[in-house]
Each structure stands twice: as C-alpha cells, then as structure tokens.
C-alpha cells in the first residue's frame, strides 16, 4: 500500500474541528496488514506480570498478529523473550504456559535449546560438515519490565519504555500504592474473549466515557460522571473517577476496604491498566488484533490480597464486559453501511471526563503511525 486513503473531512491536531477516522480504516484489509508492520511490530506489547514466571524454566507464550513468541525465566533468573520458532524447519516450540525443566525441545525433529536460546543438540548435525550451532540460536526479542509487568518489542531499534512512557509508570505507581504487592489471581487469560469487531473499535470504546451514562447504567451509578476526568499525554491517556456512590446498582463497596477510586489507563497502542473501587486489585488487559474485523480481548487480574473481590469480578464479567462487547460489535456492523463514513468528536471545552479528546488522541496516533510508511 503506497499511501493511505484520503479522509473526506479533516483529522488534524485541532480536535474541535476534526472528524474521526473513516470507515475504510476499520474495514480495509490493506490497512490492517499495514497496522501489523507499522504499529504492532514496532510497539511495546504486554505479556504477563513477572510474578507469573517465578521459577527457572517457567514460560508463557504469546501470539501477536502473525508472530509466535515466548518468554522464559532462564536458569540464571533472568527473563528472556524469543520467537517461538525452531530454527530448523520453523515448527512451534512451546504452547500455552508451563515449565521446561532442562531443555526446550522441538516436537518436530528434537532440536534442543537451552533457556538462553542457544542450540545444544541437532540430531545428525555431526554429519554436516562445518555445522555451526551458533548460526541457529533462537532469535531474541527485546524485553523490558514496566510496573513489574513484562513487555516485549519486535523492533530491535525501539526506544525503551522508560523513554517513551516513563511518566505513565510514575503516574500508576503514584495512584496505586499496593502495586508491588500484587499477586496473580489466575483469571482472565489472554485471548479468552473473541470479539467480532476490529481492534480499533474496541480501543475507541475504551478511551472515551461519553457512552457511559447511556450504555453503562450500573457503571454510572457507582462512578460519579459529573466529576469524571480524562487526561491525555504523549503515548497514553487516563480516565479517573474520584467520586463513587456506595448506594449503587453495580456491586457492594466497603468504604473501609480497598481503593475507593476508579482508574483506567490506556497505553498506545493496545494495553490497558484498570482499577475499580472496593479492592486493591489491578487488571492488565490488551486488545489483540486477529483480523480486520476481529480481535481478542483478555489479560490478567492481580490483587494485593491474592484473590479477586468476587462482587466486582462478577459485575465486570457478567454486566460491564458484555455491554461493551455488544457496543463494539454493533459499531463494526454499522461501519459497513454506505450511509456512514466519518463521525465528529464531542468535546467539552474544559476537557472533562465524558469528552472525546482521548478518542481524538488515539485516532491521531493511528494516523501518524500509518503515515510513516517506509
């Protein structure tokens, strides 16, 4: 694709006069293929919290568009990431999550690697003259820790997360005093929820709460929308509900236990950090593109107490998430209509919480990154 399709109406840095991305950006297979190369293979992607891989040999796998990846805690205690591809004939090495006690053995031809990615054994290689095992080590992937979470980036030349979004980690740590106490709760594994909507539709829905009063009645009963706040930064945005109602239809909140605010952080392009009131928890969820009109939404839940607050978990799983999925799938269907092309951002002049300025921020990020072709 040599150039992006032109927008009928402008999308510029001036939000008040801008229009949204056109429907073609959500429906074009060519644009989706470009997003893989220009966005997902060049940005930091969440994998897991470090507490999920406590022992040498512990590993977890991840599928990012067309790439299979695994992260492993090596025998020296370090976390390392590799392409999940045998260097012999490209067979997948590991599946799911687990532990390899000694070697990573390819199930196809038994090529064997250590936890540092070095090839140790290749059956019959002794019969090939001048066979150099170092030529066939696993391909490493950049890995960094961010808020005690593991992130990887397929771009060898990418800037570090602290350079790009260190201010986000500082903000999360300032608002969540229990961050270093979190334990994995074993829920919400990646990829468990398939949504018949493209990844941008799901992010669109996440970064604005203009829809909350109308579409999330229970959410709006527990989070005071009149004082809701949305802030936009370079690579991230934050929604904050500082005031909550204990007399609500969502779930019971003990005013003496757990955090009493809501926070929703979005990190470009597809990672979210989520806090709801009533318990000292953090949900890290991601939107993984599958196809032009399909994505997976999932992630992991963590709690300082080691278990989720069940009333909050039940509300999220049975009410809030299904509401959002229905919204996103309806939008994806509507984008196919010949009656629709671009919408307009609804902006509060004071940039309050229900304003769509974070949606504009996301669309501009998409526009800028896709425009950087070549």
Give me the CATH number covering residue 114: 2.102.10.10
Contacts of 355 (CB under 8 A, 6+ apart): 208, 210, 230, 346, 347, 348
Contact 258, 192 (CB under 8 A): no
Contact 345, 356 (CB under 8 A): yes
CATH number (domain holding residue 200):
3.90.380.10
Contact 259, 268 (CB under 8 A): no
- Write down which residue in 153, 182, 197 finishes a domain: 153
Residue 374: pLDDT above 50? no
Residues 148 and 24 occupy one common structural domain: no
Angle formed by the axes of helices 199-207 and 357-371, nearest 10°: 150
Residue 300: pLDDT above 50? yes
Residues 27 and 125 occupy one common structural domain: no
Task: Look at residue 125 and tell me if it is in a domain.
Answer: yes
Angle formed by the axes of helices 199-207 and 321-334, nearest 10°: 120
Task: Look at residue 225 and tell me if it is in a domain.
Answer: yes
- Where are the alpha helices (H) located in the chain, listed in sequence order? 24-27, 29-35, 161-175, 199-207, 212-215, 217-222, 310-315, 321-334, 357-371
Of 79, 10, 38, 49, the residue nearest 369 (C-alpha): 38
Task: Look at residue 97 and tell me if it is in a domain.
Answer: yes
Residues 86 and 149 occupy one common structural domain: yes
What is the pLDDT, as a whole number, of residue 78? 98
| Alpha carbon of residue 67 to chain centroid | 16
What is the pLDDT, as a whole number, of residue 274? 98
Residues 208 and 336 occupy one common structural domain: yes
Residues paired with 241 in a beta bridge: 262
- Number of folded domains that form the chain: 2
What is the pLDDT, as a whole number, of residue 133? 96
Residues 325 and 182 occupy one common structural domain: yes
Task: Look at residue 161 and tell me if it is in a domain.
Answer: no
For 326, phi and psi rounded to 5 degrees?
Answer: -60, -40
Task: Look at residue 344 and tell me if it is in a domain.
Answer: yes
Q: What is the mean pLDDT of the chain?
A: 95
Residues 191 and 102 occupy one common structural domain: no
- Write down which residue in 130, 153, 176 finishes a domain: 153
What percent of the chain stands above pLDDT 90? 93
Helix (H/G/I), strand (E/B), else coil: 310: helix
Residues 266 and 350 occupy one common structural domain: yes
Task: Look at residue 307 and tell me if it is in a domain.
Answer: yes
Task: Look at residue 160 and tell me if it is in a domain.
Answer: no
| Number of alpha helices (DSSP H) and beta strands (DSSP E) in the chain | 9, 18
Band of the pLDDT at 239, cuts 50, 70, 90?
very high
Q: 164-205 pLDDT, tens per residue?
A: 999 999 999 999 999 999 999 875 544 479 999 999 999 999
Helix (H/G/I), strand (E/B), else coil: 97: strand
- Write down which residue in 124, 153, 182 finishes a domain: 153
Contacts of 35 (CB under 8 A, 6+ apart): 289, 366, 370
CA–CA separation, 38 and 368 (whole Å): 10
**Structural domain containing residue 63:** 45-153
Residues 37 and 53 occupy one common structural domain: no
Q: 50-102 pLDDT, tens per residue?
A: 999 999 999 999 999 999 999 999 999 999 999 999 999 999 999 999 999 89
Contact 7, 342 (CB under 8 A): yes
What is the pLDDT, as a whole number, of residue 192? 75
What percent of the chain stands above pLDDT 70? 97
Residues 36 and 76 occupy one common structural domain: no
Task: Look at residue 9 and tell me if it is in a domain.
Answer: no
Contacts of 20 (CB under 8 A, 6+ apart): 11, 342, 343, 344, 345, 359, 363
Of 351, 74, 374, the residue nearest 230 (C-alpha): 351
Residues 214 and 292 occupy one common structural domain: yes
Q: 99-156 pLDDT, tens per residue?
A: 998 999 999 999 999 999 999 999 999 999 999 999 999 999 999 999 999 999 999 9
Total residues found in the chain within this entry: 374
Residues 23 and 137 occupy one common structural domain: no
Contacts of 121 (CB under 8 A, 6+ apart): 103, 110, 111, 112
CA–CA separation, 101 and 91 (whole Å): 20
CA–CA separation, 23 and 4 (whole Å): 13
Report the 10 Å Cβ neighbour count for 42: 16
Residues 308 and 220 occupy one common structural domain: yes
């Amino acid at each position: 694709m040599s150039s992006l399709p032109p927008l009928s109406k402008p999308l510029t840095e001036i939000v008040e006069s801008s229009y949204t991305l056109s429907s073609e950006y959500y429906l074009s297979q060519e644009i989706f293929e470009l997003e893989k190369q220009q966005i997902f293979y060049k940005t930091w992607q969440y994998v897991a919290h470090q507490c999920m891989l406590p022992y040498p040999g512990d590993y977890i796998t991840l599928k990012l568009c067309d790439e299979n990846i695994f992260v492993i805690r090596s025998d020296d205690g370090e976390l390392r990431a590799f392409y999940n591809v045998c260097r012999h004939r490209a067979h997948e090495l590991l599946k799911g999550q687990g532990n390899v006690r000694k070697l990573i053995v390819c199930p196809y031809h038994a090529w064997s690697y250590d936890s540092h990615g070095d090839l140790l054994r290749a059956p019959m290689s002794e019969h090939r003259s001048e066979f150099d095992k170092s030529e066939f080590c696993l391909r490493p992937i950049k890995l960094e820790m961010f808020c005690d979470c593991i992130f990887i980036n397929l771009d060898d030349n990418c800037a570090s997360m602290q350079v790009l979004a260190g201010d986000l980690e500082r903000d999360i740590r300032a608002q969540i005093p229990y961050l270093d106490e979190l334990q994995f709760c074993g829920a919400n594994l990646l990829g468990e929820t398939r949504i018949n909507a493209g990844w941008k539709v799901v992010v669109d829905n996440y970064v604005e709460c203009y829809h909350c009063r109308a579409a999330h009645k229970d959410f709006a009963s527990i989070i005071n929308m009149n004082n809701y706040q949305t802030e936009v930064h370079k690579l991230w945005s934050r929604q904050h509900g500082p005031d909550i109602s204990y007399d609500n239809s969502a779930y019971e909140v003990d005013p003496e236990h757990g955090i009493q605010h809501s926070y929703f952080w979005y990190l470009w392009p597809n990672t979210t950090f989520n806090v709801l009131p009533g318990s000292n928890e953090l949900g890290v969820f991601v939107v993984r593109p599958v196809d032009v009109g399909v994505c997976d939404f999932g992630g992991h839940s963590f709690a300082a107490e080691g278990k989720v607050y069940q009333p909050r978990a039940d509300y999220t799983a049975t009410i809030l998430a299904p509401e959002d999925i229905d919204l996103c799938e309806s939008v994806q269907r509507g984008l196919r209509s010949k009656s629709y092309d671009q919408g307009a951002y609804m902006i509060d002049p004071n940039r309050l919480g229900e304003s769509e300025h974070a949606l504009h921020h996301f669309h501009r990020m998409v526009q800028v990154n896709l425009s950087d072709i070549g």
